[in-house]
Chain A
Amino acid sequence: MKKLLKLMGLTVFLLLSLSTSVMAKNEIKIDIANGALVWAETCMRCHNLRKPEDLNKRAWKYSMNHMRVRAGLTGQETRDVLAFILSAKTAEDEK
């Protein structure tokens, strides 16, 4: 078990070392079309679709981070889905 822990620790350390460049690379782009696709395909697998107007913008930000963990989304997919939802909100419910 100690060996396993050491291995996990080493893996985390290596990935942490690599993470900065990966994050910098991925934060630049937003793909709304990909967001729409991931939203339609992924959310429906577990539960009924929550429409953009169901939550306000602030709530969507927290919910999407929660879903990133629950649904196993990548950071980029999470940002794309959030961008799609925010872009799909109508003027009436933009809060």
Chain B
Amino acid sequence: MKSTMLKLLLSVVLLTALEANQKETMDIQQLQKELYELKKNINQIQSELEGNAKSGFQLAGYAAFDWADIQKDDNEFSGAKFAPIFHAQYGKLFQFEGELEFTTKSDGETNTELEYAAGTLFINDYMGLQIGKFMSPVGQFVQNLHPSWINKLPTTPVGFGHDGAAPTSNVGMSLRGGLPKVKGIRSNYATFISNAATFGTAADGDVVIDASGKTSSGNISKTWGGRLAVNPTGGMEVGFSSALGKVSETLTATTNVGATVGDTVARDYEVIGADFMFNINSLDLKAEFIQQTIGESQFSTLEGGIWKAWYAQMSYQLFSSNFEPVLRYSDYHNPEAKRNQWAVGLNYLFSNNLMAKIAYEYNSDEDKDAINSSINDNRVLAQLAFGF
């Protein structure tokens, strides 16, 4: 009996071991199969990344349509914008990108602007040499957040538009890219050298710094600068910017100390900026400060000074729904004006790149000329924006 029991037990042990062995073999075969499929997928993706054609292009861009009801004024369909972006590349070595911006003016004419047109030569994994007209690397809003489908409100913060406190574009060259991680922290940089900005009186009489890219520097030394940004956590970026150089001013009046009307003079120019972005779950926070300083000139009747602006913005996509409330405060000071704005808005996201926005702006300007002007009027704004 004992012998039978022992044989039976031995048989059970052997069978169990055999089954376990078979299962292990099957598991290994399954893993090998999965590994084979994974390798196949990676090879396929690798071949797609390599691509067949050396050259090619893509058309992207955005469009926006605006409506405004301005205090003390009629409501009107106030804007139509079409901004095609052209991307072309030669293999992995070179990329060209250009953006045109077409807008309809109040008199029905079409306004056309070349926002940027720049080629980038990818030198290595951490460096691209960009040449041409590019969005100013100083700060964050102008270069990355201005497109209507990205901007959470229908308008830009005060001081961050054309002729404000923030430089808009440069003509020159830029060296930029991402840097290797240091202790798990990612960072990126952009340096540039470009033609000088201009300084003078605009058609409306305001004294402005025109920091948009030009193909002439008026024999004034170049502007150089850059931005360094770090990502302390994945969803956060903190950036610091600076630029130095001269601005050119064509004299329309003189102090009669050796220069004549029409002469071009150089004035000191300095820019500093800091920006912050943080996105966690459905909460999005953004803030930026920018300041341009113009030095004095013994030849000019225009005084120098500081043009500075900042904004802080918060938006939140409600309970993973398609509704997104937004709140923004912006402030702009220059030697002639002190202006601030509260904006509150609600967006409806049809998709991540198609949205309807409605907002209320409360504007305040201490400039005596602006107190009774439309700049100071509060307004209701609506916009439909589409990125493609």
Contact = CB atoms under 8 A, between A and B. Distances in A.
B114 interface: no
Contacts of B176: 69, 72
Interface string B100-126: 000000000000000000001011111
A79 B95 contact: no
Contacts of B178: 68, 72-74, 77
B279 A22 contact: no
B10 interface: no
Interface string A56-91: 011101110110111111111101001100110000
B254 interface: no
Given A66-B97, A69-B130, A44 B125 contact: no
A66 B95 contact: yes
A57 B92 CA distance: 16
Contacts of B11: none
Interface stretch (B25-33, B186-194, B206-214, B372-380): B186-194
B58 A75 contact: no
A8 interface: yes
B58 A87 contact: no
Of B45, B89, B188, which is in contact with the most chain A CB atoms at under 10 Å from its CB?
B45
Given A8-B193, A30-B45, A86-B48, A62 B87 contact: yes
A37 interface: yes
Contacts of B58: 58-59, 62-63
Contact of A19 (B60, B123, B149): B123
B79 interface: no
Of A16, A47, A50, which is in contact with the most chain B CB atoms at under 10 Å from its CB?
A47
B287 interface: no
Instruction: Determine the main DSSP class of A at the interface with B.
Output: helix
Nearest to A37: B234
Interface residues of B, number: 62
A7 B86 CA distance: 33
Q: How big is the A interface, by class?
A: 35 or more
B346 interface: no
A75 B353 contact: no
B192 to A, nearest CB: 10
A70 B144 contact: yes
Given A45-B237, A48-B349, A54-B352, A69 B128 contact: yes
B352 A66 contact: no
Contact of A79 (B49, B97, B127): B49
Interface stretch (B221-229, B296-304, B357-365): B221-229
Nearest to B53: A58
A15 B128 contact: no
Contact of B126 (A40, A51, A58, A75): A75
Interface of A: 1, 4-5, 8, 11-12, 15-16, 18-19, 22-23, 26, 30, 32, 37, 40-42, 44-51, 54, 57-59, 61-63, 65-66, 68-77, 79, 82-83, 86-87
27 contacts: A23-B125, A26-B125, A44-B235, A45-B277, A45-B279, A46-B150, A47-B352, A47-B387, A50-B352, A50-B353, A51-B352, A61-B56, A66-B95, A68-B177, A69-B176, A70-B143, A70-B144, A71-B188, A72-B188, A72-B189, A74-B126, A74-B180, A75-B124, A75-B125, A86-B45, A86-B48, A86-B49
